[in-house]
Amino acid sequence: MSDLNGILPLWKERGMTSHDCVFKLRKILKTKKVGHTGTLDPAVEGVLPICIGQATRIAEYLTNAGKEYEAVVSIGRTTTTEDAEGETVEQDASIKSISRDQLLAALTKLTGEISQTPPMYSAVKVNGKKLYEYARNGETVERPTRQVTIYSLELLDEKPLYEGVEVTFKIRIACSKGTYIRTLAVQIGELLGYPAHMASLVRTKSGTFTKDQCRTLEVVQQQMEEGAIQQVILPVEYALSSYPFIEITEDNKKQILNGQVLPIHDLLEIHDKIVFTSDGKVLAVYIPHPEKAGLMKPEKMFPNIT
């Protein structure tokens, strides 16, 4: 089945790494051209779009797309990993009383563009080495602060008051690439004046892909055995649907198939990419030429895609 091309919306189950999923899918689908679109920690379950065949060319587009999560935040304890997997760093055993208004005010402050410092137990690289490698060796290094965008931060229950030694609540987050929900949980705690960590996390959406579209590895295996694998693989065009599609003409067909630089299309004044198609099938993704004003160039080519 090496001619498979498209996006498989996978539901990654807890206990597996994103790489584990890719490894298993290569065996199931009998193809090496399989790539994931953004790491999910082993303790996290959720939407993980998988690119197959020529769709691996657009994996970066899906990785860069916005994400949605549902998380349980626990107030009262911080951990080394900022989630429930880590060892306790600080604990507050007092009886807490947090009003709904206080909590909503904290969520409002963390909506929009915010600064985050990635946790030590993360895959961010510093001096060519992943932070978690330093952390496992007991080393601490200076971590780069990054700007991320929280598009929305919603409290998912109606309680007027949150009381107890440990206070937990569920939130829904829509955010940009690179956001650490673990760190966001800690930041919420800081605004409330308590240590905090992320108790659990589910990714409910990645780009345009939702939980309802996803299949588990077990279902993918069944579909493959039944010869119905195409039923769970979405076409490359679906993943590009946020960009304008333009059918090629006889006048530009040869130039586009050869990946030539062309006069810029009017739509590139509004969009950062356009997609050239033939009978609705993607041939090339064009972008404004970075060095030559008034021209556009191919960013991705899809020869012989079916």
> Which residues are tagged catalytic?
41
Give the pair of three-digit tokens for residue 112.
């929009």
Answer whether 120's CB lies under 8 Å from 89's CB: no
40-to-36, 84, 249, 288 alpha-carbon distances in Å: 10, 15, 42, 32
Quick one: which of 147, 144, 145, 66 has its CA closest to 113?
Answer: 147
Could you tell me which residues are beta bridge partners of residue 262? 296
- Closest listed residue to residue 235, CA positions, set 165, 305, 145: 305
List the structure tokens of 132.
Answer: 């978690």
55 neighbors 63 (Cβ within 8 angstroms): no
175 within 8 A of 124, measured Cβ to Cβ: no
**CB-based contact 25:233 (threshold 8 Å):** no
Query: What backbone torsions phi and psi does residue 4 show, to the nearest 5 degrees?
Result: -70, 130
Alpha-carbon span 103 to 159, nearest angstrom: 11
What are the tokens at 38? 């953004």
125 touches 131 (CB < 8 A): yes
**Rg from Cα positions in the chain:** 22
Type of residue at 230: Q
Spatial separation of the C-alpha atoms in residues 244 and 268, rounded to whole Å: 9
3-state SS, residue 222 = helix
